[in-house]
Structure 1
Amino acid sequence: MAKIVVLEDEASTRRLITAVLKKAGHEVTDVDNGAEGLLTVLAELPDLVVSDVEMPKINGFEVLSDIRNTPETAQTPVILLTSRSSEEDISHGMSQGANAYLTKPFDPNKLLAAVHQQLELLVSRSGQASQPGGTGFEATAPAELLLTPFPSLELEPMQAPAQAADSATEGRVVQPPRQQFAAAWAVSMEVHNDQALRQALPIQAWRTLLRQLFLPVSKDAALRSADYLDLHESRLTLYFLDQALEGKPGYVRAAQAVQAMLRSSVQAKQWITQQPSVVGAPPLRVLTSLHLGPIEVVRMPLDFGGTRDTVVGDTAEFMQRLRDGEPRVAWRVLGTAAAVAASPNTYRLGAQIDISVGSQEVQVHALQDMNPALAQGEPLDASAWI
């Protein structure tokens, strides 16, 4: 039996793949998008991955690239299972590091044959024999890899602003290669003491902890409404354009995202205290930050074809540097003066202080709780904010 992760956004196909593999005796975790799928692979370190190519958030080629560029998963077999069946697609998939390439509609027997072939090759390469009561395919990361940083991920926009269709592109949505927006709410959640936790935790526990924090990107409605996002190491930043969406102004969407991030951090803190492997580790400290500023979105080409929208400019740089200037106080949530002034009657304010962020002197406020009328779902108790 092997531990396999299946990435497939089409529900019926995902159920079929999972059923075929489970019937063959394998332990299967299935996910419906590339972002969550990659986090699952990095957290669970499976024996094999079966992945679609065309998926939301990040596609199969990007997932494959990050798997190959992460030492703990560099040798993990990856089978691409996709409707992209041209010789060019197949050649590209194999050249990017796929171990096998199957096309849809697929033959379950061929999938099983490919899975078993790759698992046998994995055992042969690792020199490991099957162990009674185990998968027989688990590999232990060398000690020198235990502090490997989480890979940098820049995810595609979760919900791109609407643009006019161009008849030359057969009705597909077209966006200019560079866009500027005068105001966007930036909401960031990051592990403030990530270096200490990396050193204290086994690598798989660290990966799983990040997964506990960042899976709400795929699950929570407040986070899914973000216009753009960036996931880098142990920091997630969401960008909400300062405009109404489904009747919600930008500051309300941002406030609900702050609430959702706090809920995720509370759950992650509860999880980490229940793990035997974290005895003696420092307590998890998650910092959530809120800011309002202009953003610039650049359409960047990808190596495998296609493009990705990436937030650049002063606000993106500000969010990257904010933690460096944040004082070592017991705040869980901070808002810059610009964000606080533009969201009246949203937060109860605590202490305020001037800090240096790069070359800027910025006033920041401790946010102590949120107006319950704006919360999505049950508002968190104020103790989660302080």
Structure 2
Amino acid sequence: MPLIVLMEDDAATRTLVASVLRKDGYEVLSADNGVSGLELVRQNKPDLVISDVQMPLMDGFAMLQALRADPAIMTIPVILLTSLQERAHMRIGMTSGADDYITKPFRPGELREAAAAQLNKREMQAALQTMAVEAAVQAALVDQKHHLSRLYEEKLASELSDKWPAADAASEDEKFSNASVLFVDVLNYAGLAEKLSSTELSDVVRQFYNNAGDTVHLFGARHMQFVGEGLLVVFVDSTDTSSVNHGLRAARAALGLVDAAKRVQKFLNSQFPAYGLPRFDVSVALNSGPVALAKLEDPLHGGIHVLPVGDTVSVTLLLQKQASKAGWKIAASVAMLRGVTGAVNTGARALISLPGRTAALDAAELLGLALQT
């Protein structure tokens, strides 16, 4: 029977989480602060730790730092609980060695899925060996956490100044023999623009793309840029993200973007109930293959702009348009799915005709991450 240590200072939440986990057959030990919880971890060496961020005596981040510094318990997976208003906690937790996070309030099903995914991590890692996923994910996170934190802050600062990702004018184009490209576009944008003022629409779009930016950053995007109302993102393998391959990180980012759209829809329902707005929704396309990041000099404003180019990028943009007509939330080329075999669940599969191309594209609908049993 898997053992879980739960740290949560709120008695009601602690009781709820423990009840859900015990109902699934797990043994649960609980603590109401980080100090007591960490001692439970050291004494019992559980299979999983679930911890709130805000706790007395020792908060979740300090507890996580102490856990990762102890060789006897450093590889135990940790899930952090944080509120929707504390988005910075998500970034800090992921770059400090957390394996996952759950935002409050959460559904019991979300908790079950997150716990099951971490408890089955060894089986997942075995299934993903053909995708070059390193077995020692926890050790890599510990070794690289300081570097990841610095890398994230550099990217975020550059993005906020409208210069991310920056490029050296003297440097050459970057070429990747295999990368994953994600393109997300807002559906019904024209209908929203018709019924909302420019200020209201900008608030809605900003809310979604703030969440989208956080999501792609969390999963190690190499490059992102806006294309019309859409967002184009490139993921590549590098030493900074060597623990999980680019295809799986792109898939997780795509699922996060769909969830972000659902949160925006809830916001519209609460703020504009009488407007009769079309549904705020997105469609996402994923594709893998060779990609070049071309560095172009701006003759009017100076500086260097980075432009993703190549057939892989072109196919991704076309796939999103065609798949959205079929009602697919996330469409993935079979070329991309081969890199995440066993890690995701797929639905319908079809040969999709793309405008301007002679051959149809073999693609499938991506439904979610697979739970290994």
TM-score of the superposed pair, with normalisation by structure 2: 0.51
Residues 372/215 of structure 1: CA separation in 2 closer, same or farther (3 Å cut)? farther
More helix per residue: 1 or 2? 2
Residues 177/288 of structure 1: CA separation in 2 closer, same or farther (3 Å cut)? same
Q: Does 1:344 align with 2:341?
A: yes
Kindly provide the amino acid, as one letter, of the partner of residue 297 in structure 2. P
Kindly provide the CA deviation profile for residues 255-301 of structure 1, in whole angstroms up to 9, marking residues without a partner as x.
Answer: 22123212211211111112227621211221122111211111112
The one of 255, 260, 266 equivalent to 1:259 is 255
Counterpart-to-counterpart distance in 1, 2:216 and 2:313: 23
Stretch deviating more after TM superposition (339-348 or 239-248): 239-248
Kindly provide the amino acid, as one letter, of the partner of residue 311 in structure 1. P
Superposition map of 1:104-253 within 5 A: 156-157=164-165, 176-220=171-215, 222-223=217-218, 225-243=220-238, 245-253=241-249
Residues 300/370 of structure 1: CA separation in 2 closer, same or farther (3 Å cut)? same
Counterpart-to-counterpart distance in 1, 2:170 and 2:253: 26
Give the conservation status (yes or no) of the 8 Å contact 1:289–1:334.
Answer: yes
Residues 203/372 of structure 1: CA separation in 2 closer, same or farther (3 Å cut)? farther
Kindly provide the CA deviation profile for residues 170-202 of structure 1, in whole angstroms up to 9, marking residues without a partner as x.
Answer: xxx787332321111112221122222222332
SS in 1 for 2:185: strand
Counterpart-to-counterpart distance in 2, 1:218 and 1:287: 16
Structure 1, gaps ≥5 residues long: 1-31, 33-53, 63-154, 161-172, 374-386
Stretch deviating more after TM superposition (335-344 or 311-320): 311-320
Once the 2 structures are TM-superposed, how far is the Cα of residue 246 of structure 1 from its aligned partner?
Answer: 4.2
Counterpart-to-counterpart distance in 2, 1:250 and 1:307: 25
Which residue does the alignment assign to 1:356? 353
Which residue does the alignment assign to 1:308? 305
Overall identity of the aligned pairs, in % = 19
Counterpart-to-counterpart distance in 1, 2:321 and 2:246: 26
Kindly provide the amino acid, as one letter, of the partner of residue 309 in structure 1. V
Kindly provide the amino acid, as one letter, of the partner of residue 295 in structure 1. V
Counterpart-to-counterpart distance in 1, 2:317 and 2:330: 16
Counterpart-to-counterpart distance in 2, 1:263 and 1:222: 16
How many residues end up aligned between the 2 structures? 214
TM-score of the superposed pair, with normalisation by structure 1: 0.50
Which residue does the alignment assign to 1:56? 158
SS in 2 for 1:331: coil
Kindly provide the CA deviation profile for residues 205-253 of structure 1, in whole angstroms up to 9, marking residues without a partner as x.
Answer: 2222211211025434754621011212221121011456242221232
Counterpart-to-counterpart distance in 1, 2:286 and 2:207: 21
RMSD: 2.9
SS in 2 for 1:290: strand
Structure 2, gaps ≥5 residues long: 1-87, 89-155
Kindly provide the CA deviation profile for residues 20-73 of structure 1, in whole angstroms up to 9, marking residues without a partner as x.
Answer: xxxxxxxxxxxx9xxxxxxxxxxxxxxxxxxxxx951263xx6xxxxxxxxxxx
Counterpart-to-counterpart distance in 2, 1:329 and 1:289: 12
Which residue does the alignment assign to 2:294? 298
Runs of 4+ in 1 over 6 A off after TM superposition: none
Counterpart-to-counterpart distance in 1, 2:193 and 2:342: 38
Give the conservation status (yes or no) of the 8 Å contact 2:283–2:324.
Answer: no
Kindly provide the amino acid, as one letter, of the partner of residue 256 in structure 1. R
Which residue does the alignment assign to 2:316? 319
Which residue does the alignment assign to 1:98? none
